[in-house]
Structure 1
Amino acid sequence: MGIQFDEKHRMFHLQGKATSYVIQLERDGYVTHQYWGRKIRQFRNSNRQQYIDRSFSPNPYYRDRTFSLDNLPQEYPQYGNSDFRKPAYHIQLENGSTVTDLRYKSHRMYSGKPKLTGLPATYAGQADAETLELVMQDEYLDLEVQLLYTVFSNYDVVTRSVQFRNKGKQKLKLLQASSVSVDFRRSDFDMLTFPGAWGKERHMEKRPLQSGIQSAESTRGASSHQQHPFIGLMEKHTTEDHGEVFGFHLVYSGNFLAQAEVDQFAATRVTLGINPFDFSWLLEPGEIFQTPEAVLVYSSNGLGGMSGTLHRFYQQHLVRGEHKDKKRPILINNWEATYFDFDAGKIEQIARAGSKLGIELFVLDDGWFQNRNSDSTSLGDWFVDKKKLPNGLEDVAKRINEFGMQFGLWLEPEMVSVDSELYREYPDWCLHVPDRYRTESRDQLVLDFSREDVRKEIIKRISAILGSAPIAYVKWDMNRHLSEVGSASLPAERQRETAHRHMLGVYEVMETLTSRFPHILFESCSGGGGRYDPGVLYYMPQTWTSDNTDAVSRLKIQYATSLLYPVASMAAHVSDVPNHQVHRFTSLAMRGDVAMAGNLGYELDLTKLSEEEKQVVSQQIEFYKEIRSLVQFGNFYRLKSPFEGNETAWMFVTEDKTEAYVCYYRVLAEPAAPLAALRMKGLDLAKDYYVQGTDEVYSGEELEYSGIRIPTALQGDFVSHTWHLKSE
């Protein structure tokens, strides 16, 4: 395992747990991509590049018509010198031209993995990973481009990022700077993406690759509800358990472009990185630009293999802090119970009811700060509303703590209301363009976090709040996307840097506050799952999966989210009916069974529950505490997809395979419902498993090969059933 360099053949062979990634230096230093896939013990280039004369493919060598960059598989392709496919980067010189020519200059290999300055990234110890720094150079410009590769000994993962170093004398303008490019010599793939909308996040789509360009992207200043910074290529007929999958995931929370291009020779180029739309970066002599990191994951065991790798990898090499491996508390959030209409007495009533049911954390949502009686005012004025909370947050927290519960708080640090003291005092502190209307959303604007003075003031105000009371949890929200993206602090030639500089500023504020208050469990949110991405996961170990709490809607949202993210990162709440987003009625039992497949919480008025409902909730909480570690940190398996039919099923298995929790859901009743069995995964075939609450016992072999009968007693729409299995 690790990285080997074959000097004779000028070949780098990167080896992970069960995967190989091969780079070769071609004539005069062209850096080519040779292979990525199943692990090969010794790569001798049996499928080496063929050089033949192809019409209309220009040739950089005099009278050698067989060599052209137009059909050469490259590691970081450029524009302007015979490759007509989309490049990985694009640079404008002082004379206005955009042609560059990168060639291999040097390389360095070492144990461990470096940090990326100012950016979130995966991390590893000296014994866990090896890194290749491969430096390319444009001699005319004296521009160095460092390709950074890290391979992990226990995972089928390669991470990549790129650093641009202007060592020359002229100013360069980056027009595009992708984090990764990979050329495949085939196009017989299906492409996997995760489009969506508010309340409908990450609805997986699979479609065959076609000639030309297909992509997923965001220009909203955030990773967004609408698209996700991921692209996957799967061989045809890939399933959960079979088939090759190549996944590309960007550790970034701003504008991105994930793109696959199929060329005339049926080869596929995948690029992923910061979206070049409305982006440029002025690189002065001596300056450096660092791209975000891309995580490349390979699976020869279908989508389930990819998920299993990403779950373990992100949990161990991306999530950080005190709460990384801690059980997440069961919470009650007052938002859908009260919205803005509450006072200290009402909060105490809900908390008291929650404590009697076994809830561990009370979260005070939006509306606790001055004059905040609707979503149209006061963001930025982070001072307690003494009309609602006359004795402040400390008093509320103390009351909740006396019930044996922790206290949490909602915040939206990146925003400012037009109707606020902060905006009236500093109207230029928001993102805006001179002489243009400032588009509002929810009557709010976006603070310009590219500015140091803005960041310092927000850190000061939020720190004062977080230090004013025993706060154990923060829900960090972000409820609008970026428009009129300009900064009063940047010169004209740097205005197109604003979106990325703003994102770097957001990361700086997150890093400062999460480091300053390490005991606080931070949960990220952006209108629900509008910024559920690896970049934010680096700072906050869990995310509010969606504002849509309807149990049926959540089946697709949570299922697709599970393809990329560990369950411990996925917050899921039981809310009231009719549901506040889609107005559907579902049983309390099904709502609980869906929410218990994530980090369980409640978002309703507990004081209005009937005695029967209180008993159901109490039982849910008691049971969830029993299986919590299993759900949050066990191995996760998908059994039935809501994108393929009327049923959904998934299960959780402990690492030692002694315990499992299995969930089945059916959306609509059918007049002739299949008399089906649910076949399980991940069990120890040699073990016997006792179905808790019954006298039934089955072997792992039988449960996986034959399956367990789905109860025919499940009647009507929106039903669920679970099994809790334990071996002796």
Structure 2
Amino acid sequence: MSTMTEPHTLEWHAAPFALRVDVDDAGRPRLTRMLGDRAADVAIALPLVEIVTTTCSKRAGTRFDDTELGARLRYRSHRHRAEGERDVFEVDLADAETGLAATVTWSTVPGSEVVTVSTTVVNEHPTRRHELLFVSSVALGDARWDADDTTVHSAANTWLSEFRWQTLTYRERGGVDVAMRAHGGASTRSAQCIVGTGTWSTSENLPMGAFEAPGGGTLLWQLEANAGWSWRVAESPTRDGGALRLVLAGADALTHGWSRVLAPGESHAAPDATFAWSTSGLEPAVAALTAHRRRERAVYRTDRPVAVVYNDYMNTLMAEPTTDRLLPLIAAVGRVRADVFCVDAGWYSGEPGWWHTVGEWQESATRFPGGFREVFDAIRAAGMLPGLWLEPEAVGVRSPICEELPAEAFLQRGGVRLVEDGRHVLDFRHPAAVAHMDAVMDRLIADYGLRYVKFDANLNPTPGTDVGGLNPIEGLRRTAVAWLDWIDALHARHPDLIIENCASGGMRCDWQTLSHFALLATSDQQDESRVPPISANAPLVVPPEIAGVWSYPQAGMSPGAVHTTLVNSLLRRPILSGHLDRMDEKELALVATFVDVHRGLRDEIATAEPVWPTGLPGWDDPWVTWALCCASSTLVSIVHRFEETVAEQRIPLTRLRVSADAPVIVEQLFPPRPASWRIDGGDLVVRLDGPDAVVFRLQE
């Protein structure tokens, strides 16, 4: 409930969060408490919004806490209301001198243990324009986040090596003690900044992180931004030393070159930020955030009957499909009972160098002399839904579409269409761009019965677009929003269409994007021994049932390699590939067993909580384990990656949420070949000699 417990105190309780906003005698509000497990107020409270304009500055340096305008905003009003199933608390702020006002909204589904913060700035001045350079999504300071011993979780995210989480204290990350007391108690001027740029929103880092205190208290966040974002951690002095502050934001002038001019009456919304809180470490916070994500994307569960997708690309046809190559593959994949057969890149051109000619999305007569319908009919006859790869934002510089569409339908700078890797980029704000891709999709669905589409994005047009007289990065942000609007409209017109999100693998893993898709292609990694840490860490980013992971078994592969590539995706969303048409009966039977095992686990995976029984894996860890805690059992994947390493792994049963004091039933689910294991002193001990992998179910 929301009450005025004191003349200048606002409170809102949404367990485990308990917000307190203290308003001083001058009307300045400060967020003095966010978490409900602590009675004492924070010692380094911040304004509810941090704003920088061309006339209202920040402090020197890279920090964006305690900005001039943030400190000047005054309390105006507040509201507590219900909005559907959500409980909502809003605070209105205003600055009389500039005429800028802001509304900060906290919302939650009661019992979810997750809260989302939204911030909107509006120019209420009757005549004056304001150029925004920075607007925070949220700014937090809390004395519990001691600078000496607070762990900061963050993740690097690059092509072929996604989801590389680091667990380091603020000091280990380079935040040195600069003796702030000797400088009059001044805060440091620098911040540790994690950044995403362009529409490849996660091509360098993830817009996620967490603070974890030594006692286990953990605040996990995700910033929901698909075209430029940052989160900053900085130290400020307290009576007892130094504590951390956190500022989350979308694109800004310092980091991205962004700005936005607000005319009178115009507003700007910062990206939403969502938080989960746990008193006992990272995993419970991830569980709460996973439940929140499942609830937020429920409307897009058009793929519910679909368990396994086969895609002809990875380590198989590699963008060279033809009728002759596809028909034997389709027959073999049908024998293992996959649900979808997706024809990947290359189907639209018979010439080399097609990268620069894409855009029409018509099948190649050279590759498919009997027509595309022959392939799609074969897919349906084999009991599968037909799918296709497209890159809808890209138009090659040699494509006839360049002449058919107006120049304004593409991203531009100074009236010149941007070129990235030999291609232009469609601007889905323009009706001609929308009409073109609507016609493409409607034709493919009507002519071929297309039921699955993989939308790839191998472009990151970081120069942005100044069409409409906008700052180029603001223009890029709006095109990214328009792209998602087009996806939603496509869903509405074709509700049975299943849409996969890919961007050279996991280069668009922000939740603003992911919440609009049926599944995510987590990586393009082609070495099965490098996939385990990617697969293991994927549920930090998406629910496990939409984390698409490649498995590409091949004829003649060693048993350990086949087991590894299949186990990589068994507890995720399998994207199967490989030359199944070249396999013997025994090899094909193993793949069919894998498909059946996954299909039998699908409902459990869709409601399970992810855990990491030996910790979040590092990129070169020889053993990688990941688990899903289901209603009455725990599923655990164990991979031994390197020949020369120790061949035994010990996993505490308590980390698998199984009591070490009770009899434990261990069932090997995959592969059929028995692995060596034992229960020893409260541990599950698994032996895998050489590279190999296994999946168990544990029950008490």
Report the TM-score, using the length of structure 2 for normalisation.
0.86
Number of the residue aligned with 1:346? 325
Aligned to 2:96: 139
1:633 corresponds to 2:607 = yes
Provide the rounded CA distance (Å) in 2 between the counterparts of 1:458 and 1:507. Answer: 13
Taking structure 1 as reference, are residues 82 and 624 closer, same or farther at Cα in structure 2, changes over 3 Å only?
Answer: closer
Q: 1:372 to 1:585 in 2, by over 3 A?
A: farther
Is the CA contact (8 Å cut-off) linking 1:417 and 1:445 kept in structure 2? yes
Could you tell me how far apart the structure 1 residues matched to 2:295 and 2:45 are? 37
* SS of residue matched to 1:651: strand
1:254 to 202, 223, 227: 227
- Which residue of the partner structure matches residue 590 of structure 2? 616
Q: Which runs of 5+ in 2 are unaligned?
A: 177-189, 670-677
Residue matched to 2:113 = 156
SS of the equivalent of 2:451 reads: strand
Aligned to 1:532: 509
Cα distance change on mapping 1:99 and 1:622 into 2, 3 Å: closer
The equivalent of 1:647 in structure 2 is 623
- Residue 105 of structure 1: aligned partner: 76
Distance 2:417 2:393 in 1: 20
Measure the CA separation in 1 of the matches of 2:71 and 2:21: 21
Question: Does the C-alpha gap of structure 1 residues 496 and 631 become closer, same or farther in structure 2, counting only changes over 3 Å?
Answer: closer
For residues 587 and 549 of structure 2, the distance between their equivalents in structure 1, rounded to whole angstroms, comes to 19
2:277 equivalent in structure 1: 298
User: 1:604–1:29: structure 2 CA closer, same or farther, 3 Å change rule?
Assistant: same
* Residues 494/453 of structure 1: CA separation in 2 closer, same or farther (3 Å cut): farther
Would you say 1:180 and 2:138 are equivalent positions?
Answer: yes
Where 1:215 maps in the other structure, the secondary structure is strand
Q: CA RMSD in A?
A: 3.1
Partner SS for 2:327: helix
CA distance in 1, matches of 2:153, 2:58: 30
For structure 1, which segment, 21-30 or 413-422, has the greater mean C-alpha deviation from structure 2 after superposition? 21-30
Q: Distance in 2 between matches of 1:20 and 1:144?
A: 25
Is residue 31 from structure 1 mapped to residue 4 from structure 2 by the alignment?
no
Question: Can you list the C-alpha shifts for 1:325-356, whole angstroms capped at 9, x where unaligned?
Answer: x2542121111321232322432221111111
SS of residue matched to 1:320: helix
From the superposition, tell whether residues 510 and 81 of structure 1 become closer, same or farther in structure 2 (CA, over 3 Å). Answer: closer
Once the two structures are TM-superposed, the CA of residue 216 in structure 1 deviates from its matched residue by 0.8
> Contact between 2:15 and 2:36, CA under 8 Å: does it hold in 1?
no
Q: Which residue of 1 aligns with 2:448?
A: 469
Partner of 2:635: 661
1:214 equivalent to 2:192? Answer yes
Pairwise CA distance, 1:323: 3.0
Please tell me whether the aligned partners of residues 217 and 280 of structure 2 are also in contact (alpha carbons under 8 angstroms): yes
Q: Distance in 2 between matches of 1:230 and 1:283?
A: 29
Please state if 1:4 is matched with 2:2.
yes
1:601 is aligned to 2:575: yes
Give the unaligned 5+ runs of structure 1: 50-70, 92-97, 113-124, 237-241, 695-701
The amino acid of 1:620's aligned partner reads: F
TM-score, normalised on structure 1? 0.83
Moved more, 387-396 or 194-203: 387-396
Given residue 220 of structure 1, which amino acid in structure 2 is its aligned partner? Answer: G
**How far, CA to CA, are the matches of 2:230 and 2:58 in structure 1?**
24
Q: CA deviation at 1:672?
A: 5.7
Instruction: Say whether the 8 Å CA contact 2:193–2:233 is kept in structure 1.
Output: yes
Which one of the candidate residues 12, 16, 27 is aligned to 1:18? 16
Give deviations 1:32-74, integer Å, cap 9, x for gaps: 111233446xx5xx4475xxxxxxxxxxxxxxxxxxxxx6532
Per-residue deviation, 1:639: 0.9
Amino acid at match of 1:563: L
1:335 alignment partner, one of 295, 310, 313: 313
Using the aligned pairs only, state the percent identity: 17
1:563 maps to 540
Q: Distance between the aligned counterparts of 2:342 and 2:563, measured in 1?
A: 23
Does the residue aligned with 2:163 lie in a helix, a strand or coil?
coil
Distance change (3 Å), C-alpha of 1:404 and 1:689: farther
Listed one character per residue, the Cα deviations across residues 102-142 of structure 1 (whole Å, up to 9, x for unaligned) are 11101111012xxxxxxxxxxxx33xx21111110112233
Report the CA distance between 1:482 and its aligned residue.
1.0
**Structure 1 match to 2:181:** none
Matched, 1:692 2:650: no
Indicate yes or no: 2:564 matched with 1:590.
yes
**Deviations, residues 246-274 of structure 1 (Å, cap 9, x unaligned):** 12211121111111121344232211121
Per the TM alignment, residue 308 of structure 1 is displaced from its structure 2 partner at its CA by: 0.8
Could you say what secondary structure the match of 2:628 adopts?
Answer: strand
Counterpart of 1:52?
Answer: none
Compared with structure 1, are the counterparts of its residues 15 and 552 closer, same or farther at alpha carbon in structure 2 (3 Å cutoff)?
A: farther
Is 1:706 aligned to residue 682 of structure 2? yes
Query: CA distance change for structure 1 residues 138 and 585 in 2, over 3 Å: closer, same or farther?
Result: farther
- CA shift, 1:208, in A, is 2.3
Pairing partner for 1:518 from 469, 475, 495:
495
Distance in 2 (CA, whole Å) between partners of 1:376 and 1:478 is 13
Map 1:116-127 onto structure 2 (within 5 A). 125-126=84-85
Map of 1:263 onto structure 2? 236
Does residue 230 of structure 1 match 2:208?
A: yes
Are 1:430 and 2:410 an aligned pair? yes
Question: Structure 1 residues 463 and 12, CA, compared in 2 at 3 Å: closer, same or farther?
Answer: farther
Distance in 1 (CA, whole Å) between partners of 2:473 and 2:667 is 60
Q: Is the 8 A contact 2:42 2:142 kept in 1?
A: no
The Cα shift of 1:275 comes to 1.9
Letter in structure 1 aligned against 2:223: L
Match of 2:296 in 1: 317
Most deviating of 353-362 and 392-401? 392-401
Partners of 2:463 and 2:123 in 1: CA distance? 30
* 1:256 alignment partner AA: W
Residue identity in the other structure for 1:706:
G
CA spacing shift, 1:672–1:564, aligned 2, 3 Å: closer
- Please name the residue that 1:171 is paired with: 129
Shift of the 620–436 alpha-carbon distance from structure 1 to 2, 3 Å rule, reads same
Q: Give the letter for the 1:538 counterpart.
A: S
Which secondary structure state, in structure 1, belongs to the residue aligned with residue 117 of structure 2?
strand
The alignment partner of 2:657 has SS state of coil
Q: 1:682 aligns with which of 621, 641, 657?
A: 657
